[in-house]
Amino acid sequence: MKTKERVNWVLTIVLILGTLTVFFPLYMAIIIAFKKPTEMTNDVAGALSFPQQWSFDNFTQAMEVTDFWHSLGNSLLIAVATIVLAILIHSVAGYAIARSVATHKMYRVVYLYIVSGMFVPFAILMMPLVKQTAQMGLGNRLGVILLYVVFYMPMNILLYVGYLKNIPQALDEAAEIDGATTWKTYWSIIFPMMKPMHATVAVLTALGTWNDVMTPLVIMSGTGENTLPLAQLNFQTQFGTNYNLAFASYLLSLIPILIFYIVCQKQILNGVANGAVKG
C-alpha cells in the first residue's frame, strides 16, 4: 500500500508568491512595451489591461533613440572581454590559492585579502578611480573592462577556490609523476574539469557587467560611447519617463543575456553547489 504524500502548503504558497513576484514585473514590462502612449492610464485596471492593438512601433523607436546596434556592440565587447579575462585570470589565481592555502599561511592571507574586496562599496572608490583612469588614459572601454576584472575578482576567486577543493590534489601529483609541469597540469587536466564553475562565473560576471550603469557612466563620460544601460537613460528626463519606449528597450536588452543564461544553465547549478560546499 502506497503512503499518501503530504503537501507542504506553506512551501507551496511561498513558491507561488515568489513566482508571482518575478513574473508580474515581466508581465507589466511586456504589456507596457506594446502599448501606445495614449493607452497609458493612471488607474490600475488600465495599466494591467492588454494593448488595444499589438504593435512593434515602440521597439523601433527605442532602437533609434538608443542607437541600439552601436550600444549593443559596446555592451557585448565589454561583457565578452570581461568574461574571458575573468575566467583566465581568476581561475589561475584560484588554482594557485586552493592548492597552496593549506600549506602556506601567506596564501591564506592573500586569499582573505582578495575576498575582503567584496565588502568595499564602489561609491568609496568611484572618485579616485575616475581621476586615476583619466590620468592613465583609461577613461574608455578598456578601462571599464579592466575595472570589471578587478571588481569581480573577489567573488570569482571565492567560487573557484571552493570548487577546486572538491577536485582531488592526487590528480596534480599523478600528473607531476608523469613529468607534467604545473602549467601543463592546470591547462590540460584541471581547467577542463572546472567547466561548471567557468559557466557559473561567466553568467554571474555577465549579469553584473551587462546591467551596470555606474561604472561606464563615470569612466566613459565624455567619450561619446554608450553601453545599453547608459543609452537607456535617454528615456528619463526632468519632465518624466517615456515608459513605453523604456520598457521596449529593456526587453530588447534582456534578450542577449537571457540567451546566454539558457545556454549555460545546465552547468550553473552544479558549479554553484560544488563551489559552496567547502568555500
HEC letters along 44-82: HHHHHCCCCCCCCHHHHHHHHHCCHHHHHHHHHHHHHHH
Asked if 83 contacts 145 with a C-beta cutoff of 8 angstroms, the reply is no
Task: Count the Cβ atoms, other than its own, within 10 Å of residue 76.
Answer: 14
How confident is the model at residue 278, as a pLDDT? Answer: 43
| Helix axes of 105-115 and 153-164: crossing angle, nearest 10 degrees | 140
Beta-carbon contacts of residue 261 (< 8 Å; ≥ 6 apart): 203, 207, 268
Q: How many whole angstroms separate alpha carbon 243 and alpha carbon 43?
A: 15
How many angstroms separate the Cα of 151 from the Cα of each of 220, 257, 269?
17, 20, 23
Nearest to 160 by CA among 85, 84, 99, 110: 99
The alpha carbon dihedral of 157, 158, 159, 164 has a sign of positive
HSE at residue 246, side-chain half, CA atoms within 13 A, is 13
pTM: 0.84
How confident is the model at residue 273, as a pLDDT? Answer: 53
What is the tally of helices (H) and strands (E) in the chain? 15, 2
Output Rg (C-alpha) for the chain, integer angstroms. Answer: 23
How confident is the model at residue 139, as a pLDDT? Answer: 85
C-alpha cell at 273: 553547489
pLDDT digits (tens, 9 = 90+) for 31-85: 888 888 777 766 556 667 788 888 888 899 989 988 999 999 999 999 999 999 9
Instruction: Give, rounded to a whole angstrom, the gap between the first and last alpha carbons of the chain.
Output: 44
Mean pLDDT of the chain: 85
Q: How many whole angstroms separate alpha carbon 107 and alpha carbon 180?
A: 23
Asked if 232 contacts 66 with a C-beta cutoff of 8 angstroms, the reply is yes
pLDDT digits (tens, 9 = 90+) for 95-153: 999 988 878 889 899 999 999 988 888 888 888 888 888 889 888 899 999 999 999 99
Q: How many whole angstroms separate alpha carbon 212 and alpha carbon 243?
A: 20
Asked if 242 contacts 35 with a C-beta cutoff of 8 angstroms, the reply is no
